[in-house]
Structure 1
Amino acid sequence: MTLKLYAHPFSSYCQKVLIALYENALPFELRKLDNAQAAEELAALWPLKRFPVLVDEDRTVMEASIIIEHLQLYHPGPVRLIPEDPRAALEVRTLDRFFDNYVSTPQQKIVFNQIRPEAHRDPHGVAEARAMLDTAYGWLDGVMASREWAAGTTFSLADCAAAPFLFYADWTHAIDARFANVRAYRQRLLARPSFARAVDEARPYRAFFPLGAPDRD
């Protein structure tokens, strides 16, 4: 049975899973969430209606990181995204959590604030989110001073997270020139064929970015 992914190409968390699928050339059916039928199917599978959601025969798998873990367990390919060594795997999972919690979360807080009616916006919360992003960039700049990929020399789950989250974070709160290692890492991610494909597939939707997509990348 073909894997079925409920997702939208412009979503950062969906891109995280798409990168993993593309890295190992796994065949799947994309149920693109741009129509009522796909949305109804998603709601029946997962009442919280968060995506991506993967359907693999009788299994329904939620949450991007767990989907990637599931793919490695049940559909392994030549690119191992979570190391076999438990210590190395712990480093990968730690970096994955870092990108989810300290890059994606504050970035999305800024974007979602922009979508709110003006009377309900939270400038203090946005300032806190921008400060967190600068702190995260600074910490990551030190980490990436001696690494090619997030957890070392091998592309991993952590890079699947870093690619879309740093991509949109730089649009939302620019990565300052003083964080040269982070900027260089973001460029390496953009050059990775799996992420380049995800970026190109999302390109038609850039007009929907609430803050206005920059004319680059």
Structure 2
Amino acid sequence: MSLTLHFHPLASFCWKALIALYENDTPFTPNLVDLGNPAERAALVKLWGIGKFPVLRDDARNETVPESSIIIEYLDRNYGGRTRFIPDDAGRALQTRLRERFYDLYVHLPMQKIMLDRLRPQGKQDPRGVEEARAQLRTSYAMIEQQMANGGWAMGEDFSLADCAAAPSLFYGSMVVPFGDANRNLAAYFERLKARRSFARVLQEAEPYFQMVPREP
């Protein structure tokens, strides 16, 4: 098998790449990386000096592709299937990338800030930073609520790169800042994402590891 994805089943950015692979039933070999294992960490760093996953290795093309957004675009160009993640139309492609950046920067990153703060030692937490992250999530939720007023996917009728970013961001985001009654369109969109075959598979495979997710103190 040409493609190998180096990943962890709880990592939200890894979910993003996995959704794209499962959308088109793209054959690949999964390689679960335990960053706590020095040998496995060293092997990942050898592939991608930053030492973060996901990383896609394509032996057939002799390419190493890091970063979830780049992995999905690489798959779209070289292993395309029934789901196209980035439209051919230049203007719509730009809007799709913008929407994907929105989910990564303004939903995923504040969510991650809150999650990681829960792992800090007692007395080392950052309550101000956490409250700022919660405020950002509430602002982002309100924007998504308006965007999803007509239903569908992040860019309308077609599932795209933006939805690959939205699914993990909203899954973990809802754990740290629930959507609430004011965000019914957002909640309905999240239910559509969970029902999508590709994301449902990601969730099923991650379920045995959910006890490792840091909970609120």
- TM-score by length of structure 1 reads 0.95
2:20 aligns with 20
CA offsets per residue over residues 25-73 of structure 1, 9 Å max, x none? 0000111013554433211111211110011121111110000000011
Residues 151, 185 of structure 2: 8 Å contact kept: no
Measured in 2, the distance between the counterparts of 1:200 and 1:100 equals 22
Q: Does 1:45 align with 2:47?
A: yes
Tell which deviates more after alignment, 39-48 or 125-134: 39-48
Measured in 2, the distance between the counterparts of 1:14 and 1:209 equals 15
2:3 aligns with 3
1:215 aligns with none
Secondary structure of the residue aligned to 2:29 is strand
| 1:77 to partner: Cα distance | 1.0
1:64 aligns with 68
Tell which deviates more after alignment, 40-49 or 181-190: 40-49
Measured in 2, the distance between the counterparts of 1:78 and 1:37 equals 38
* Structure 1 runs (4+) greater than 6 angstroms displaced: none
Q: Does 1:180 align with 2:146?
A: no
Secondary structure of the residue aligned to 1:118 is coil
Residues 6, 38 of structure 1: 8 Å contact kept: no
| 1:134 to partner: Cα distance | 0.2
Measured in 1, the distance between the counterparts of 2:49 and 2:94 equals 31
Residues 10, 202 of structure 1: 8 Å contact kept: yes
What residue ranges of structure 1 are gaps of 5+ in the alignment? Answer: 213-217
Correspondence list, 1:193-208, <5 A: 193-208=197-212
| 1:9 to partner: Cα distance | 1.1
Secondary structure of the residue aligned to 2:84 is coil
Say which of 48, 51, 54 aligns to 2:56: 54
1:21 partner amino acid: L
Q: Does 1:128 align with 2:126?
A: no
1:20 partner amino acid: A
Residues 137, 182 of structure 1: 8 Å contact kept: yes
Measured in 1, the distance between the counterparts of 2:116 and 2:190 equals 23
1:86 aligns with 90
Secondary structure of the residue aligned to 2:6 is strand
Q: State how many pairs are aligned.
A: 212
Residues 153, 189 of structure 2: 8 Å contact kept: yes
What residue ranges of structure 2 are gaps of 5+ in the alignment? Answer: none
For the aligned residue pairs, the C-alpha RMSD in angstroms reads 1.1
Measured in 2, the distance between the counterparts of 1:77 and 1:178 equals 37
